[in-house]
Amino acid sequence: MERRKLGTQGLTVSAMGLGCMGMSYAYGTPNEAEAIATIHRALDLGIDFFDTAEIYGPYTNEQLVGKALRGRREGVVIATKFGFRIGDGVVGVNGTPENVKRVADESLARLGIETIDLYYQHRRDRSVPIEETVGAMKELIDEGKVRYLGLSEVSAATLRRANAVHPISALQSEYSLWERGVEKEALPAARALGIGFVPYSPLGRGFLTGRINVDELEENDGRRKHPRFSKDNARANQRIVDAVRAVAVECAATPAQVALAWVLSRGDDVVPIPGTKRVRYLEENVAALDLHLTEKQRAALEDLHHYTTGERYAPDNMALLDVYEP
């Protein structure tokens, strides 16, 4: 398994991680046994970077990841996140130092570990200076509860301010063939600061695999609320999938593998975390590490994001993003 470096503080991980959210949350009915089998298979394939968060469930995904990795902790990098106010679902954000530390302790208990390898602020709380939030995260490093720091979906300006308090090892933001907004400012800033990039949803929440029929999504599948998955928008976005499939046929690969190979080709500082709860899709995704696109194939994919129809999230969740803030 190829390894890649995230940041300047010594964090090195497998070139592809595993996003664990969908095993417990957001994408239909969970199956714990299959999820644990998927995590174990990931380990067997050389993946050592697992991504979870307090909000996934809430809480249950951290418990699942902890259960799956019990007895196999050595050499594994566990990333988790704080930053939401949780009631009946998400009721806001909370970046206060008190919440930073409270969630860390609770996440450690749920995961059954002594140290969080990579601790992200999930969404910026604009009511709390980022310096205060990251200052509390730094104190967790000093206390031995956290090893490395990350931020998710923040602007270039926020990233610079945060990094001045303590080096940030990873920026996590959505990034794929149909979502490239981070390229405008945040990703260049991260690279200038020596911060690694962890793209989530590199398969467009599954849409880029070509296997999604929006009419067949389960009633409890959160993608039903995402604008890009509305019937009209999905129909328009099929143009992107068709182009990816054409390259896949040329490569004797699947659309998912082509989409992941493209993300992996964006730089040695890029570590995508495609999520899946099924072993067969995990194995398909990992095979993308051996797929190298030609210059002509990359050119055929380069402008597909211009055809993306619909916002990334519904308005209330779009309002939580800090990426495009000046």
pLDDT greater than 70 at residue 3 = yes
The whole-chain average pLDDT of the chain stands at 96
Give the domains, in start order, of the chain with CATH numbers: 3-318 (3.20.20.100)
Residue 54: closest CA among 10, 24, 18? 24
Write the pLDDT tens digit of every residue in 94-106.
Answer: 999 999 999 999 9
Please give the pLDDT value at position 29. 92
Please give the pLDDT value at position 326. 36
Please give the pLDDT value at position 323. 65
- pTM for the model stands at 0.97
Residue 151: closest CA among 137, 141, 140, 139? 137
Q: Which residues pair with 82 in a beta bridge?
A: 121
- Please identify every residue annotated as catalytic: 56
Write the pLDDT tens digit of every residue in 126-170.
Answer: 999 999 999 999 999 999 999 999 999 999 999 999 999 999 999
Write the pLDDT tens digit of every residue in 5-53.
Answer: 999 999 999 999 999 999 999 999 999 999 999 999 999 999 999 999 9
pLDDT greater than 50 at residue 88 = yes
Q: How many residues does the chain have?
A: 326
The pLDDT confidence band at residue 89, using thresholds 50, 70 and 90, is confident
pLDDT above 90 as % of the chain: 97
